[in-house]
Structure 1
Amino acid sequence: MQLVLTVLEIVSPVFILALIGFGWVKAGHEYRIEFVTRLAMTLSIPALIFVALVNAKIEPAALTSLLMAATVGFAAVTAVAFVAVKVFKLEIRTYLAPLIFGNTGNLGLPLAYFAFGDEGLSYAVVVFAVMALWSFTFGVYVTAGGGHPGKVIKEPLVGATLLGGLFLWQGWTLPTFAMNTLDLLGQIAIPVMLITLGVAMARLQVNSMGRAVALSLGKVILCAGIAAVVGQWFDLAPVPFAVLVVQLATPVAVTSYMLAEKYGAQAQEVAGLVVASTFLSVIYLPVLLGLLL
């Protein structure tokens, strides 16, 4: 009973904030998602990542192990998902990216923070960074039929991750006023990401849900299973192991829908995956956390 209450305490803020965004839009209020997303991706999330890494009380070797595990994990998920898409004769441009990339930002970072505190957040940003790099290169290439690898270097979150990693490795920090400013800026990231997730969910238009539910179940089993195997292989400690599993098992990212819409893939099919997997995560994420805690 105590474990159930602990898990509910962890996941409740995540879904309550998303419900606030959902209800905000359904009530007819304005929410400029493009502006808020740009603000978060350009300023608040990079600040959150940088501060989390600079303040991390974690051995650089442990972060390196997780970085390698996350890289191998996403590579394995990509390979298996590609085979599955081929076997079930699904369109690669529409289905491959959503089956690979989870919502490691809007959902994964807050969940890791609420479940494992600052230590969990430090590990989670590493997995998030690996996913972002792979998404901005391979993900765009698959969905659009042509990628732009140079674009990833221009992403503020990538620069913040690299710079934060350097500061962590060297044991550096910034003057107190600068760290306090970045910390304050980063504090808006988690609530804004969750509210925006709810807004995006409210605005998606979904057609058939049968295939979406089946694929969503397949995705979480595939990703959580691969993450668990990879985590054991790299002999990760309990917290980074749990973060790796949770991050890879997050539901389909809203950005997959945005990419499909932008590059002419079957956007409504992707929307179905986002909605189905996110609602299923209300059930499976608490169960997964209960097993990992």
Structure 2
Amino acid sequence: MAMRIVAILFPLFAITALGFVAGRRLKPDLSHANKLNMDVFVPALVFAALANKEFHVTEYLPLLGATLLVVLGSGAVGWAVARMAGIDVRTFVPPQMFNNCGNLGLPLSVLAFGDSALAPAVAIFTVSNLLHFSYGAWLLDHKVRLINVWRVPSVLATLVGLAVGVAGIEVWPPLMHAIRMLGDIAIPLMLFALGVRLTDSRITSIGLGVFAAVLRPVSGMVLAWLVMLVIDLPPREQALLLVFGALPPAVLNYIFAERYRQEPEKVASMVLIGNVTALLFLPLALALSLE
């Protein structure tokens, strides 16, 4: 079991570590690559998974509901802890609520549970992504117009992919193959860019960072377990939900904090330390889910 977990996690952390080393030594400017990834490659990945004729959204409704409960529950836990600890809710809640289900979650799901796990993993990512670009943005700036969320390329790809899948439209195979090839770029680029991004993060609040880094996966896994007691999910989806609960804070939280000037240094500390402590919590989640 230990060797299997190492084999699953090694590619993820090896590519991320390579990105970190390249970021420190070469200091590459990945701003254009990251924009291409968010605007082209990730939407292609999402569309290909959802528009697949083997993807039936109705089969994943329980998983979508379970994911929604875990995300909202994580936000509620973060809000309660922030209020008790005297921490700004807008600083603490988003990193607790929105985890790294893109950069780490998607590749981890495929490596741990096979290619067939990509579709349910994308379903989980879709729920978190929609909430992050809507409620997550509104939480940081109440002036954000939620109606504009559909303009986000990954959200638009989600809506179009679901529409194509539900309507039973078969995309021309050569075109779908080209879209899949574009989507295949997304995951390794996500991991490499994550490593580079971590070199820009500065740890200014170590205590807060460690506290948030532990609370995020612990509360996430507990919430996933509680939700599974209420919602009956197939074994593979239970495993995916448990791993989802254990994921560290998303790097996007830091980007949002910078954009809305919401204590980005503190958020950066939570994100950086959280992704480092993933070395401890992801093996635990995999050990529990692979039993």
TM-score band by shorter chain is: over 0.9
Q: Name the structure 2 match of 1:220.
A: 217
- 1:165 is paired with a residue of what secondary structure? helix
User: Does the CA contact (< 8 Å) of 2:79 and 2:93 recur in 1?
Assistant: yes
User: 1:165: how far off?
Assistant: 2.3
Aligned partner letter, 1:177: P
User: Does the CA contact (< 8 Å) of 1:53 and 1:164 recur in 2?
Assistant: yes
User: Does the CA contact (< 8 Å) of 1:7 and 1:290 recur in 2?
Assistant: yes
Pick the aligned partner of 2:260 from 258, 263, 276.
263
Quote the Cα distance in structure 2 between the aligned partners of 1:256 and 1:199.
Answer: 16
Quote the Cα distance in structure 2 between the aligned partners of 1:140 and 1:12.
Answer: 33
Cα gap change, 1:96/1:146 in structure 2, threshold over 3 Å: closer, same or farther? Answer: farther
User: Does the CA contact (< 8 Å) of 1:92 and 1:142 recur in 2?
Assistant: no
Q: Name the structure 1 match of 2:157.
A: 160
User: 1:173: how far off?
Assistant: 2.1
TM-score under structure 2 length normalisation: 0.94
User: Does the CA contact (< 8 Å) of 1:54 and 1:165 recur in 2?
Assistant: yes
Aligned partner letter, 1:224: M
Q: Are 2:189 and 1:192 aligned?
A: yes
User: 1:148: how far off?
Assistant: 2.1
Q: Name the structure 2 match of 1:27.
A: 25
Q: Name the structure 1 match of 2:124.
A: 127
- Say what the alpha-carbon RMSD is for the aligned residues: 1.6
User: 1:56: how far off?
Assistant: 6.5
Pick the aligned partner of 1:173 from 156, 170, 175.
170
Q: Are 2:1 and 1:15 aligned?
A: no
Q: Name the structure 1 match of 2:3.
A: 5
Cα gap change, 1:208/1:72 in structure 2, threshold over 3 Å: closer, same or farther? Answer: closer
Gapped runs of 5+ residues in structure 1?
none
User: 1:58: how far off?
Assistant: 5.1
- 2:87 is paired with a residue of what secondary structure? coil
- 2:114 is paired with a residue of what secondary structure? helix
- In the TM superposition, what whole-angstrom CA distance separates every residue of 1:25-61 from its partner, at most 9, and x where no partner exists? 111242x232122111111111111112233645543
User: Does the CA contact (< 8 Å) of 1:260 and 1:267 recur in 2?
Assistant: yes
Pick the aligned partner of 1:252 from 243, 249, 265.
249
- In the TM superposition, what whole-angstrom CA distance separates every residue of 1:111-141 from its partner, at most 9, and x where no partner exists? 1111112222111111111111111122112
Cα gap change, 1:216/1:20 in structure 2, threshold over 3 Å: closer, same or farther? Answer: same
User: Does the CA contact (< 8 Å) of 1:103 and 1:250 recur in 2?
Assistant: yes
Q: Name the structure 2 match of 1:67.
A: 64
Quote the Cα distance in structure 1 between the aligned partners of 2:106 and 2:59.
Answer: 18
Q: Which piece of structure 1 moves more, 72-81 or 93-102?
A: 72-81
Q: Which piece of structure 1 moves more, 77-86 or 103-112?
A: 77-86
Q: Are 2:252 and 1:243 aligned?
A: no
User: Does the CA contact (< 8 Å) of 1:250 and 1:281 recur in 2?
Assistant: yes
Quote the Cα distance in structure 2 between the aligned partners of 1:114 and 1:121.
Answer: 10
Q: Name the structure 2 match of 1:206.
A: 203
Quote the Cα distance in structure 2 between the aligned partners of 1:252 and 1:56.
Answer: 32
User: 1:211: how far off?
Assistant: 2.2
Quote the Cα distance in structure 1 between the aligned partners of 2:245 and 2:134.
Answer: 18
User: 1:208: how far off?
Assistant: 3.0
User: Does the CA contact (< 8 Å) of 1:56 and 1:119 recur in 2?
Assistant: no
Residue correspondences, number? 290
Quote the Cα distance in structure 1 between the aligned partners of 2:279 and 2:137.
Answer: 28
User: Does the CA contact (< 8 Å) of 1:22 and 1:201 recur in 2?
Assistant: yes
Q: Name the structure 2 match of 1:85.
A: 82
Pick the aligned partner of 2:42 from 42, 45, 55.
45
Aligned partner letter, 1:244: L
Quote the Cα distance in structure 2 between the aligned partners of 1:6 and 1:171.
Answer: 38
Aligned partner letter, 1:213: V
Aligned partner letter, 1:250: L
